[in-house]
Structure 1
Amino acid sequence: MEPVEINAGAWYLRGLRADDRVDDRPALADLGEHRPGYVADCAARWESDQRYSWAVCEPTTGELLAEVTLDPATRVIEVRVRPGQEEAGRTGAEAVGRFAEAML
């Protein structure tokens, strides 16, 4: 499956990116994620249906505020949030839960 965008009201969720338009790696570093190939690994896991990951973003800037992951086999949802962005993470996790219920 390719990354699915989700509208979560005050935030939107999209696949992680590291390209010439959007680079989530600095924000991921704030979450403690420093592996250079992490974004590419996440894309590969989407493609193989092993794990889905979303950037929970501020809609006007596209800035990553939190990351939500879903294991499609177990439906386990995990959340990592940047400092002060707990509400974005919680809302993102709820939206992913609804996605899992509807699509899996």
Structure 2
Amino acid sequence: MEPVEINAGVYYLRQLRADDLLDDRPALIEAFADADHQRFVLNYRLRNTGEADRYIARRAAEWARGERCSWAVAEPVTGRLLGEVGLKDLDRASGTAEATIWVHPAERRRGVAVTAVNAAVRFGTDALGLREVAYLYHEGNDASAAVARRCGFRFVDTLVSPDGRKLLRCLRSTR
């Protein structure tokens, strides 16, 4: 699957980049160093440009394999990275995926997450034919709970993460 860019109104969604024109690596490293980010995003640690390069390459490879759509949420004039939104665990046959979002600490509480998640879900519905999108967040992550509510997800059950913490699972039917 080829990556696509999305006009999300006040933001645009594009592939993560590290090239001569745009380099997301410094913003990635800053975001992943944030204590709240580390508390809720457990799968990755980006401490240097090498790790950021691998992260960007991984996201591109996931697109190519059709496993995950991942976008940098960017400021439309400068292209500055504000966060990342995605649809992971894509199962086009069953029409399901899980929405993911993180926002750079300097950009939180500005509506970035709600705008980006809604745009990603619209893409999943219109371009990929998804019927249902899940959204999981750790218990106590009030910001993610607010995003879920504002994006129209409904609580369905509680799961336990690999580290033993409670995850709240929400769903949004898209059809």
TM-score for the superposition, normalised by structure 2: 0.56
For CA contacts below 8 A with separation 6 or more, give which structure has more relative contact order.
1
Counterpart secondary structure, 1:31: helix
**Structure 2 counterpart of 1:81, from 99, 103, 110:** 103
Residue deviations 1:23-81 (CA, integer Å, cap 9, x gap): 11111112215124110111111000011110011111100101001122241011010
User: What is the percent sequence identity of the aligned residues?
Assistant: 48
Q: Which has the higher strand share?
A: 2
Asked if the contact 1:65/1:89 (under 8 Å) is kept, the reply is no
Q: Which residue of 2 aligns with 1:59?
A: 76
In structure 2, give the amino acid aligned to 1:92.
A
Q: How many residues are aligned here? A: 104
How far, CA to CA, are the matches of 2:102 and 2:14 in structure 1? 15
Query: How far apart are residue 91 of structure 1 and its match?
Result: 0.5
In structure 1, give the amino acid aligned to 2:119.
A
User: After alignment, is 78-87 or 58-67 more displaced?
Assistant: 78-87
Structure whose CA Rg is larger? 2
Asked if the contact 1:66/1:81 (under 8 Å) is kept, the reply is yes
Counterpart secondary structure, 2:105: coil
Structure 1 gap segments, 5+ residues each: none
Spell out structure 1 runs of 4+ moving beyond 2 A. Answer: none
Q: How large is the RMSD of aligned CA atoms in angstroms?
A: 1.3
**Structure 1 counterpart of 2:123, from 96, 99, 103:** 99
Q: Which residue of 1 aligns with 2:24?
A: 24
